[in-house]
A and B are shown apart, each in its own frame.
Chain A
Amino acid sequence: MPKDSGIGASSKRREDVRFLTGAGNYTDDINVHGQAYVHFLRSDIAHGRIKSIDTSAAEGMPGVVKVFTGKDFEGVGGMPCGWEVTDKHGAPMQEPPHPILAQGKVRHVGDPIAAVVADSLEQARDAAEVIDLDIEELPAVMNMKAAAQDGSTLVHDDLKNNICYDWQLGETDDAKVDEVFANAAHVTTLDLVNNRLVANPMEPRVAVGEYKRGTDEYTLFTTSQNPHVIRLLMCAFVLGLPEHKVCVVAPDVGGGFGTKIFHYAEEAFCTFAAKACNRPVKWTSSRSEAFMSDAHGRDHVSKIELALDADNNFIGLRTNTYANLGAYLSTFSSSVPTWLHGTLMAGNYKTPVIQVNVKAMFTNTVPVDAYRGAGRPEATYQLERVVDKAARELGVDPIALRRQNFVTQFPYDTPVALTYDTGDYNGTMDKLEAAADLAGFAARRAQSEANGKLRGLGVNCYIEACGIAPSNIVGMLGARAGLYDAATVRVNATGSISVMVGAHSHGQGHETAFPQVVADMIGIDESMVEIVHGDTSKIPFGMGTYGSRSLAVCGSAMVKATEKVIEKAKRIAAHLLEASEADIELKDGQFSVAGTDKSVAWGDVTLTAYVPHNYPLEVEPGLEETAFYDPANFTFPAGAYACEVEVDPETGQVTIEAFTAADDFGNIVNPMIVDGQVHGGIGQGIGQALLENCAYDENGQLLSASFMDYAMPRADDVPFYGVDHSSQTPCTHNPLGVKGCGEAGAIGSPPAVVNAVLDALNSGGKAVDHIDMPVSPSRVWAAMNS
């Protein structure tokens, strides 16, 4: 029987009422009395040296409050990078400055050069048009392999080359790796591209900076996934402001997908300009600006080699990846191709020798950072594509080949730095085979062929590492932040509860799922519990939402704080019931004395905590507890996905006929929300696999700069999904036994789609090894006819 409330219930998302009835409060809905508007003049060339900027005409334009250029920010810091990667020779990564407004050079189309603050946005735009720029255009550094060569044009003149770091993980002895490959019975090699993506949340970024002269206090309203992180970075590294004088508020946020993790120049600008202009300053990104200023995702070029012995056991894996970081280091960009990518190259398999090599490159493109999955999709795609290719080359069943090489004993130490605590990859694959009716595929293929279509089946596995932690380990790996989270459980006198959480909800459904946990622990109705998030003046110092961490990390902090609340409440109840604290039991919102019929209700105890007339003198009044939680390990969600496609042999058009996901997320709080998270992730994965492509030309002009050329997945591009999460091996090290579900769909789905297309083509007699994403009709047709 499905539960109807508490942990395990598909409680309806309470926040959807306001989202669906137009009652949300997004950052652009916030207007501060007297606010001015900023328009950023952005570079329309990819690379150039600024010779002069004359703003005098702009300053005289109607409505103009002030015009800013890079010179105005020479006294403050640049945008920081939150993770220092050490290269394979022990040297720190090259870390160029990232000014708020360009200084000396422009380095990508969209790089902000000047900012005009005016009474209206149109006046600001008018004035920006008369800024006189003299910029000497330089050759654009676009191709990563060419950029790595000696003598390449430099994106940053003060660096020794365009390589941010040359990083390695796993086996350091090249000769040993060579020997494994030399002794292999079979080696499968694949060159592939993980296409650059633009996250495109429905809500573009917005920032409103406010300064109160009377109290010397700042408020930044911003579209962020982690307001405390923004406050810390902006205060400590960029503007040099005291944290206690700065409040960062991220109200309703209309989708993040990673791109709203980062501290952006526009946020620091609006905060800075609010004081400089003595007026609130508002910026709302246009969609066009979003394409050229939101951090992009993915953009890896990789070669992967898999060595197998005569029995088809995986004996070695080697990868060489060029990872595009764009023109500057975005906040967490350096961690994505390394610790979020290299560490995942073992996948679900017990390959004994693995070597991962990553060159991270500066180019004249928009900075690249985490996007839903962040490094793990890039790892999964390489691995699951090369395994599929190996199965085809060897003429063996791709599922059997995977099963043969699965990790089956846990905990498992991978050769790439992780310890998988738990999992059941065969069990999850069993669930997939049943849920996707793989036994019936042959009949479905025959039906498609009768209709003149080629049908393909793609299956793959994935593993991801979520809830990045613990802080002491990530600190050793170069993280400049802790990765704990925090929650305060404030019980009100009448028994209702406000839970202040460090996690931020921007589509994940925290406002519904988190109360389910607290209500379940106490035995009260979910409606008595409310989540407060997104405002640094209200919540404890938490690290926000990314990496599928909210429930596993912040939820654990919330459980710890709730346990403290219950413990204290039991002491009060024991006093009221004149019993020993050890004999008090809490069930269904009633404290009772074990073995008796004596009880007192939750609400009576909470009222007593705040009206402590009949009260244990040794206990403090009130009922409010805070907990910080730093996980002992990552969590390791894993799964198996199956995609069935039809390919039109005349046009190369691919249609997704079926998509089934079997995931092991450990314990589940709200199955409906988990379904929705998986649906959304798969939708974005299908988008990457079939449609989305952020493309530049050789001069660094963004070709896909609007929805006219950047293909977002629409409802009719995706099928009804089959989602099964009944394979459950609970996480061994957090109190809820949860693993995280937010990114799985985006990680697991691209290889399933591409594997399916290749299966379809090969079934139709077209010997095609690989097609790079997006697998567009044009590319499929070209591959079929090459």
Chain B
Amino acid sequence: MYNFEFEKPSTIADAVSALGGEDAQALGGGQTLIPTLKQRLAAPSTLVSLGGIPDMQGVCIEDDGSVAIGGATTHATVASEAASNYPALAALAGQIGDPAVRNRGTIGGSLANNDPAACYPAGALASGATIITNTRQIAADDFFEGMFTTALDEGEIITSVNFPVPQAASYQKFLQPASRFALVGVYLARFADGVRVAVTGASEDGVFRWSEAEEALNKEFRQDALTGLNINPANMIGDLHGSKEYRAHLVSVMTKRAIEACM
């Protein structure tokens, strides 16, 4: 990797200030960024670690029952600490990567990177989460703007994420055999006021909501409700690991499995 300066501030304000420098780059758990640096595909002047800020750590339960997760909280922490209040989200966190990844990678890093095959974007979008930054609150529906693209501004930090807890939810992940990212992952959340279905891994446009499935399930929450509904393969990812048609098919299969898990 190229040389860079390293800073590890202990407050959000100091982090924001450090990120104001030219070509400064925020570092969460580094599970994407560090390999990128090692391949010399990025050359930040300064890496600003968000791992030393107590205000961005941990899982807590808000008065309204929602689950708030600090932006620098690791997947392993979410897997254990959210398990009783939001088990489906904890299960998602517990399936990311391997133990080494889960003990380093963070929710804020995953959401800010918005890898089209990452798990957290599906969880956040289906849950109708609110992404809270140092300057504002962004609804998940407005946050994800396509592959590796989000509504975050330059230097903006995800300080926490607030998840409303649905009545039932399930994340069904079909593994890409090599990376074990989601070849297709479907997160289904059933709230009192409706069902939300978010799909990761499948689309050229990154995570998306399958609105036809949501409408059908709002009328009738059972597997058969999806009969006749098909994802258009045209916008799906086709690669070494699965054709567009296969991914479109898997979206249906994984959604049905999520419905069954929520019954």
Contact = CB atoms under 8 A, between A and B. Distances in A.
Interface string A629-673: 000000000000000000000110100000000000000000000
Nearest to B246: A778
A709 B179 contact: yes
A126 to B, nearest CB: 8
B231 to A, nearest CB: 15
B177 A711 contact: yes
B246 A781 contact: yes
Given A707-B179, A711-B178, A695 B39 contact: no
A711 to B, nearest CB: 4
A122 B1 CA distance: 7
Contacts of A776: 177, 241-242
Contacts of B178: 691, 704, 707-712
Contact of B249 (A704, A707, A781): A781
Interface residues of B, number: 18
Interface string A672-700: 00000000000000000011010100000
Given A778-B246, A781-B246, A781-B249, A693 B240 contact: yes
B39 A782 contact: no
Contact of A778 (B1, B3, B40, B243): B243
A692 B213 CA distance: 35
Contacts of B1: 122
Interface in B225-257: 240-243, 245-246, 249-250, 253
Contact of B242 (A122, A695, A711, A778): A778
In this complex, the interface size class of chain A, counting residues with CB under 8 Å from chain B, is 20 to 34
Given A651-B174, A782-B246, A695 B240 contact: yes
A693 B241 CA distance: 10
Given A125-B40, A693-B240, A778-B241, A651 B179 contact: no
A777 B175 CA distance: 10
Nearest to A129: B40
Interface in A275-320: 288
Nearest to B177: A711
B39 A288 contact: yes
A781 B249 CA distance: 10
Interface string B1-42: 101000000000000000000000000000000000001100
Most buried by B among A651, A695, A710, A712: A651
Most buried by A among B177, B178, B250: B177
Contacts of B243: 778, 782
Given A651-B174, A778-B243, A708 B39 contact: no
Contacts of B241: 709, 776, 778
Nearest to B38: A286
A691 B177 contact: yes
A703 interface: yes
A209 B41 CA distance: 30
Interface string B187-224: 00000000000000000000000000000000000000
A651 B253 contact: yes
A205 B174 CA distance: 34
A129 B40 CA distance: 10
Point out which of A129, A653, A710, A781 has the most chain B C-beta atoms below 10 A from its C-beta: A781
Nearest to A125: B40
Interface in B36-72: 39-40
Nearest to A709: B178
Given A651-B174, A704-B178, A708-B179, A777 B39 contact: no
Given A288-B39, A651-B174, A691-B177, A709 B250 contact: no
Contact of A651 (B177, B240, B250): B250
A691 B176 CA distance: 10
Contact of B253 (A122, A125, A650, A691): A650
Interface string A468-509: 000000000000000000000000000000000000000000
Interface of B: 1, 3, 39-40, 174, 177-179, 183, 240-243, 245-246, 249-250, 253
Given A690-B177, A709-B179, 20 more contacts: A122-B1, A122-B3, A288-B39, A650-B253, A651-B174, A651-B250, A653-B174, A693-B240, A704-B178, A704-B240, A707-B178, A709-B178, A712-B178, A776-B177, A776-B242, A777-B183, A777-B242, A777-B246, A782-B243, A782-B245
Q: Which 8 residue pairs spanning A and B have beta carbons closest together? A: A711-B178, A778-B242, A711-B177, A708-B179, A778-B246, A650-B253, A709-B178, A691-B177
10 contacts: A122-B3, A651-B250, A693-B240, A707-B178, A707-B179, A708-B178, A776-B242, A778-B243, A778-B246, A782-B245
